């Protein structure tokens, strides 16, 4: 029997599939589309998501096929009237190796994940639609349709990563509360541009029109705020652009993707119903302000993958309850952040959007029994840093395992950390043990090795042996 059926092959579903595949969990990934979607869509990969891709073995490919965000150049016609940046550049540090957002088209992100899944022997089943399911205490019976033919499959768990309009949430009967803003429209298209440098993000106001070079491609992402007419062909786009900007010297061509969106701000109150889970846009839909939607979905998958694998290997099933307990508050907070950025209509981005400060310290899997916890506590992201033996902590974490760090102490199965910089970063005293979850968050901070298994999911066999 297949263990997990993943419905939807966007970045969320693919991240989950890769994470399950590297853990040896049998998984099917289906998508109703016959061809893989094009389009830059969510082009911004936040620092925390880059750390996820580091763990999945994809960070080099991500950096090879994208770019930093270029500086912004604003025009009045052909005259430059302002120059600046979307966010302050931050130098990499010992604890944060990827501190800046990275620009990579969403179609490329999905392609890299599919390639990684193929390395584990997996593939997306395109043209395959979920048309129904029933669940009981032992599993989920799902009906799939491909080429007009139905197939009945039974799986242990089903994950709906099929977007805001996908069938999984609807079949669960879970409401999707929120609103669609009809007062705001944005046209987004991927085009080629002749006569414009690729070193800047070019903007014109009234109406707001932007051309942003997409790293790793020869295209620009064109954005037009509230267009006053239908624009569906490259000829119409080129004429409108020249009319509104006065830049008749630029040539637009090579339209490969176009969409018009209205901001959706919606979220479900349930991320899990029995053996069926919702992740990504199926659970929460964000406006694109701040570049939070795709990144939040990826981290939903990253949170859920190791828990599904652990339960399938015998961990208590109650571990799966922590998915909703941890991710629902995060999604609600990020959704509020996206709304605030949309309301401000500002291009500037701060540190909160980078998602490095997301914490589960109030969740059910965080145990910190120190009388006086330091600045890093259980539930926080586990920072990078030097071990003291020539390795970095992210090198130690990389892979599907949990990791016990023993700071200046000996503990069977633990990685001994001796570098003073790591002590400073983690703000711990000698003799402290830190259990890092498979998703790179701190589960337990203690001086008692017997407390490492106190949340019920950890066993020494699941940890890395140094």
| Domains of the chain and any CATH numbers | 2-66+104-180+265-354 (3.50.50.60), 68-99+185-261 (3.30.9.10), 367-462 (3.40.30.120)
Mean pLDDT of 219-244: 96
Strand, helix or coil at 80? strand
Contact yes or no for 141/135 (Cβ under 8 A): yes
| Alpha-helical runs (H) found in 398-449 | 420-426
pLDDT at 307: 98
pLDDT at 340: 63
Confidence of residue 77 (pLDDT cuts 50, 70, 90): confident
Mean pLDDT of 9-18: 98
Mean pLDDT of 133-148: 98
Residue 375 vs residue 264, higher pLDDT:
375
Q: Which residue has the tokens 């501190």?
A: 99
159 backbone dihedrals φ, ψ, rounded to 5°? -125, 120
Contact yes or no for 244/209 (Cβ under 8 A): yes
Res. 80: pLDDT tops 60: yes
> Whole-number mean pLDDT of the chain?
93
What token pair was written down for 160? 């709906």
User: pTM value?
Assistant: 0.94
User: Cα–chain-centroid distance for residue 180?
Assistant: 23
Res. 102: pLDDT tops 80: yes
Confidence of residue 465 (pLDDT cuts 50, 70, 90): very low
Confidence of residue 353 (pLDDT cuts 50, 70, 90): confident
pLDDT at 290: 56
Neighbours of 27 (CB within 10 A): 27
∠ CA 140-401-103, nearest 5°, is 85
Q: What is the pLDDT of residues 427-460, one digit of tens each?
A: 999 999 999 999 999 999 999 999 999 888 998 7
């Amino acid at each position: 029997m297949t263990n997990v059926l993943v419905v939807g092959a966007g970045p969320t579903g693919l991240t989950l599939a890769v994470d399950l595949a590297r853990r040896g969990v049998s998984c099917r990934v289906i998508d109703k589309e016959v061809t893989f979607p094009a389009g830059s869509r969510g082009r911004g990969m936040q620092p925390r998501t880059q750390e996820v891709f580091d763990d999945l073995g994809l960070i080099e490919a991500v950096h090879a096929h994208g770019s930093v965000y270029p500086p912004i150049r604003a025009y009045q016609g052909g005259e430059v009237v302002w120059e600046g940046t979307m966010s302050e550049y931050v130098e990499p540090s010992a604890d944060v190796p990827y501190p800046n957002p990275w620009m990579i088209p969403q179609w490329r992100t999905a392609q890299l994940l599919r390639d990684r899944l193929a390395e584990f022997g997996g593939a997306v089943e395109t043209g395959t639609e979920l048309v129904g399911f029933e669940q009981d205490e032992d599993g989920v019976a799902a009906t799939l349709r491909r080429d007009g033919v139905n197939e009945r499959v039974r799986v242990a768990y089903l994950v709906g990563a099929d977007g805001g309009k996908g069938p999984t949430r609807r079949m669960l009967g879970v409401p999707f509360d929120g609103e669609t803003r009809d007062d705001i429209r944005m046209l987004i298209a991927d085009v080629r541009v002749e006569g414009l440098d690729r070193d800047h993000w070019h903007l014109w106001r009234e109406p707001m029109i932007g051309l942003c070079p997409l790293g790793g491609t020869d295209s620009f992402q064109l954005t037009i705020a509230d267009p006053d007419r239908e624009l569906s062909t490259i000829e119409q786009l080129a004429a409108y652009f020249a009319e509104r900007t006065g830049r008749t010297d630029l040539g637009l061509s090579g339209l490969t993707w176009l969409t018009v969106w209205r901001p959706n701000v919606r979220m479900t109150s349930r991320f899990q119903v029995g053996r069926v889970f919702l992740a990504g846009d199926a659970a929460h839909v964000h406006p694109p302000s701040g570049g939070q939607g795709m990144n939040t979905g990826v981290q939903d998958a990253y949170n859920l993958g190791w828990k599904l694998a652990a339960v399938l290997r015998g961990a208590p099933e109650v571990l799966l309850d922590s998915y909703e307990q941890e991710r629902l508050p995060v999604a609600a907070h990020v959704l509020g952040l996206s709304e605030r950025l949309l309301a401000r209509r500002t291009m500037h981005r701060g540190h909160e959007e980078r998602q490095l400060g997301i914490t589960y310290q109030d969740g059910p899997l965080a145990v910190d029994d120190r009388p006086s916890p330091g600045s890093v506590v259980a539930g926080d992201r586990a920072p990078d840093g030097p071990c003291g033996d020539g390795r970095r902590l992210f090198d130690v974490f990389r892979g599907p395992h949990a990791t016990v760090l023993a700071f200046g102490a000996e503990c069977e199965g633990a990685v001994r950390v001796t570098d003073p910089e790591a002590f400073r970063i983690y703000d711990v005293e000698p003799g402290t043990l830190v259990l890092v979850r498979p998703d790179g968050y701190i589960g337990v901070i203690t001086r008692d090795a017997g407390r490492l298994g106190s949340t019920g999911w950890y066993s020494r066999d699941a940890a890395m042996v140094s």
